[in-house]
Amino acid sequence: MLTPPTRSAINSVSKRPYICPSCLHRAQRLPLASATCPIRLSRRALQTATDPPKDDAPFRKLLKDAAKKQRIQEKVNGSPSKPSSISRDPRAEKWELTVGIEIHAELNTARKLFSSATTSANDTPNTHVALFDVAFPGAQPHFQKETLIPAVRAALALNCEIQTRSSFDRKHYFYQDQPAGYQITQYYEPFARDGYVTLHPHDFPGGVSPENGSITIGIKQVQMEQDTAKTVQQPPHTHLLDFNRVSHPLIEIITLPQIHNPTTAAVLVRKVQAILKTADACTAGMEMGGLRADVNVSVRQRNVKSPEDRHSYHGVTGLGQRTEIKNLASVKAVEDAIIAEWNRQIDILEQGGAIEGETRGWTLGSKTTKRLRGKEGEIDYRYMPDPDIAPVLVGDDLIDHLRRTLLSSSDSIIERLTEGPDFNVTSKDASTLLLLDDGDRLDYYLDVVQKLDKMLKSRSIGKPELYSRAGTVAGNWVLMELGALFKDSGWSKDRVPSDELASILQHLLCKEITGRTAKRLLQMKFDGDPRRIERIIDEHHMLLIPMSSEEYKTMAQQILEEKPDVVKDIIEKGQEKKVKWFVGQMMARGKEGTVEASTAEGVLRELLKL
């Protein structure tokens, strides 16, 4: 049996290293599936700390290189190297990992955080810059209150408590991409606190969480802050600055140190990303640069109370000394960096050493983290409330309104798709639909189902089982059949309009056309045939004409005559089950879909006088 591509796409994740599953696995192993990257690439790279991104190569290339390296590695080792197999390492039994993550994401707003300059992604450099954005003497900030809307939506989607009062602080450090010499952020009074994200088994690769059930990770706070300028390297010595991005609003999401597995960390980042997308809080293309994560990693021995484990982070006590790894630009980077750092810390501790509190870096494809600066070199950011920015007061009416109008969370969408008779798709297909094309695929699917449902109902076919199959069948067609056609090009909902696909499926479900015909129709529409489906069926005489009972009889007679020994078995030895074999023969011989099993069996029994 053919495994639906989406299922194996997700299944395969558990067997192979985690490289943006929908990108690599679907493309490489599943020719039927769409090779389109589920989340759009963006050239924007988010800068959240002093260190400029070291890798300016496009992320897609990095992924490719990493995958290539992986394959070479597999050849050399004779077996796939599995970073995530660390969890079966006996050392992992001894040492517990603890991770907290800070995720920076770009808010989906029209204007910058403190000026009315418009936000932009790839416009001509330095064309969207207000005086304040480049810190001209005498210029002052103007908080754009509209930026609160996506921020609050994001925080609500992350189950946070929105604070009535929040305020902005200056975080000082010198860097050429930071015009004011400080970043305006929310240090003392963030706008949202105390949220959580629940990771369900279906969020995990293979549908199994490392803790055999749902995992809830607490979110300490969500804060708003400014982005920095973009540095464009002109080797060898020139750095050009594009201030279009300066002061683009960001949110920083800080989790509690409650993550104990690298895969959980990766899944959390991916889930947060999906939640932000669903809440329409963040710009598209987060995965490839609109998102940066910093991770805090510490280890401690399980079941042993060590005086070394005296550290407390965000109120979680008894933890080992942590290190921070900054500027991770992808889900894979998060997972691999944590694994590398986990190994490094255990190595040190097993050799009797001590972990130093320091900031480390990690580049995609490398095996170890690299020390950036130690505690003594740590920047003292000298947080100071910004005297020019009044505290932000958010009314309950706004929060209520945003809560009411918040789009369904990905969890509730998956629940709706998988439970009940409306859609009845598998949870894997549901999460694939959700993940693909920034949610466009899901919208398209919902459209198809709605239209198909209407068509079926208007024909008043009193067959409830038809309705319940509609969702499943539409799911398969939207993901597999249509997905295969879009293999080499970007997704577009207009190429095969949803009502046309619904029309194809309607005829298929009502057994008026064969599956082969349905595929042919899809291909014709995909290739741009402007005719309506009904017209194509009509003009090409595709409609299936059911066999008459005479035709049934003739066919049954012929088959029975061909196999007298089987007939003998049935009549003389009473092996009635062998009737089914004849039914199968009839179905195989008849024009596809013309022979109905129950009718065929009835005719056969009649002829055999059973």
Q: What is the binding site for other proteins (CB under 8 A)?
A: 131, 134-143, 170, 172, 174-176, 179-182, 241, 380, 382-384, 387-390
State how far the Cα of 514 lies from the Cα of 507, in Å rounded to an integer. 9
Q: How many residues does the chain have?
A: 610
162, 168, 172, 173: CA torsion to nearest 10: 60
Amino acid identity of residue 492, one-letter, is S
Q: How far is the CB of 225 from other proteins (least distance, A)?
A: 16
Residue number with CB closer to other proteins (181 or 353)? 181
Q: How far is the CB of 138 from other proteins (least distance, A)?
A: 4
Residue number with CB closer to other proteins (383 or 463)? 383
Closest CA to 226 of 186, 173, 284, 264: 186
Residue number with CB closer to other proteins (132 or 477)? 132
State how far the Cα of 590 lies from the Cα of 603, in Å rounded to an integer. 14
State how far the Cα of 425 lies from the Cα of 84, in Å rounded to an integer. 29
Residue number with CB closer to other proteins (140 or 575)? 140
**Pair 475, 423: CB distance under 8 Å:** yes
**Pair 450, 443: CB distance under 8 Å:** no
Which one-letter DSSP state was computed for residue 52? P
Residue number with CB closer to other proteins (240 or 597)? 240
Q: Where do the H-state alpha helices sit in 351-438? A: 396-405, 410-418, 427-435
Tokens for 41? 């690439």
Residue number with CB closer to other proteins (191 or 477)? 191
Closest CA to 248 of 110, 387, 394, 41: 110
Residue number with CB closer to other proteins (376 or 550)? 376
**Pair 273, 286: CB distance under 8 Å:** yes
Q: How far is the CB of 170 from other proteins (least distance, A)?
A: 5
Q: Is 33 exposed, middle or buried, given 0-12, 13-18 or 19+ CB atoms closer than 10 A?
A: buried
Q: How far is the CB of 141 from other proteins (least distance, A)?
A: 6
Q: How far is the CB of 308 from other proteins (least distance, A)?
A: 23
State how far the Cα of 514 lies from the Cα of 520, in Å rounded to an integer. 10
Q: How far is the CB of 183 from other proteins (least distance, A)?
A: 11
Residues ≥6 apart with Cβ < 8 Å to 226: 112, 113, 114, 183, 184, 185, 246, 247, 248, 249, 250
Q: How far is the CB of 387 from other proteins (least distance, A)?
A: 4
For 454, half-sphere exposure in the C-beta direction (CA atoms, 13 angstrom radius) is 10
State how far the Cα of 254 lies from the Cα of 293, in Å rounded to an integer. 10
Residue number with CB closer to other proteins (138 or 352)? 138
Closest CA to 168 of 223, 208, 205, 105: 223
254 has which bridge partners? 102, 221
Q: How far is the CB of 175 from other proteins (least distance, A)?
A: 7
Residue number with CB closer to other proteins (313 or 581)? 313
Q: How far is the CB of 193 from other proteins (least distance, A)?
A: 22
Edge-to-edge strands of the sheet including 384-385? 182-185, 169-172, 384-385
Residue number with CB closer to other proteins (217 or 246)? 246
Q: How far is the CB of 187 from other proteins (least distance, A)?
A: 11
Residue number with CB closer to other proteins (18 or 182)? 182
State how far the Cα of 11 lies from the Cα of 18, in Å rounded to an integer. 11
Q: How far is the CB of 176 from other proteins (least distance, A)?
A: 5
Q: How far is the CB of 385 from other proteins (least distance, A)?
A: 9
Residue number with CB closer to other proteins (115 or 409)? 115
**Pair 429, 5: CB distance under 8 Å:** no
